[in-house]
Chains A and B, each alone.
Chain A
């Protein structure tokens, strides 16, 4: 079946630190992979995506590379800011492209 596993939180970092949030997946076929971000009191927003192996998705300084050999899609940012404090969800879409599977979310707090 399809599933996503992401690292447990919460994660607390100082401003300008390097961020990695691990995400691995199990899927049949060739899924597309996504990272969503949820700021306090808001809905989830698409942060970035990758649709095939070795693709790199990027947005707002965040990056993630679709690694088929390790079934991973780790989220990285070189220098986090206080405004990056949020919950981050890794997700995949199934072969139909219609249904998505979300990880449990990783809470990130960035302190000045």
Chain B
């Protein structure tokens, strides 16, 4: 199994631009999670899906953030417009019920 695949690994964009992060979960996993990690705030859960349905998006910081999961094998996290304070490492993780998460390698986003 290739694990959880995230793309791109690094993204540098200018303030105001739209950014789309992508995630392919492990086949057979029914839950998918988006996290953001910064030195200041640590690991924050942004949103999670169960069977492709968003269950809890209370961690999404603002309306500029949106996430979709159109099918069991793909999810996106979009930031529009992006701001410098959005700079962070964004992780996607997937899991099967009662099993531990498997994390992707992350996308390092820098907004200048």
CB-CB under 8 A from B110, the residues of chain A are: none
Binding stretch for chain B, among A15-23, A61-69, A78-86, A95-103:
A95-103
- Set B43, B50, B91: member contacting A98, Cβ < 8 A: B50
Complex contacts, B99 vs chain A, CB 8 Å? 97
Q: Least Cβ distance of B39 to chain A in Å?
A: 11
B56 within 8 A of A: yes
Q: Name the contact of B101 in the complex, choosing from A42, A44, A51, A105 (C-beta under 8 A).
A: A44
**Chain B contacts for A43, CB-based, 8 A:** 4, 91, 93, 103-106
Task: Tell me how far the C-beta of B42 lies from the nearest C-beta in chain A, rounded to whole angstroms.
Answer: 5
Nearest chain B CB to A106 CB, angstrom units:
11
Number of A-B contacts (CB under 8 A): 54
Q: Tell whether A25 is near chain B: CB-to-CB under 8 Å.
A: no
Q: Fill in one digit per residue for A30-42: 1 if any B CB lies within 8 Å of its CB, else 0.
A: 0010101000001
The minimal Cβ–Cβ distance linking A55 to chain B, given in whole angstroms, is 13
**Contact status B98-A46, CB under 8 Å:** no
Interface of B is mostly: strand
Q: Are A89 and B43 in contact (CB under 8 A)?
A: yes
Measuring CB to CB, which residues of chain B are less than 8 angstroms from any residue of chain A? 4, 30-31, 33, 42-43, 48, 50, 55-56, 91, 93, 95, 97-106
Given A43-B105, A51-B98, A100-B33, 6 further pairs, Cβ under 8 A? A36-B101, A42-B106, A43-B4, A43-B91, A46-B102, A98-B97
Residues of A within 8 A of B (CB): 32, 34, 36, 42-46, 49, 51, 89, 91, 93, 96-100, 102, 104-105
What are 9 A-B interface contacts by the 8 Å CB criterion? A34-B100, A42-B105, A43-B104, A44-B93, A49-B100, A98-B97, A100-B33, A104-B42, A105-B42
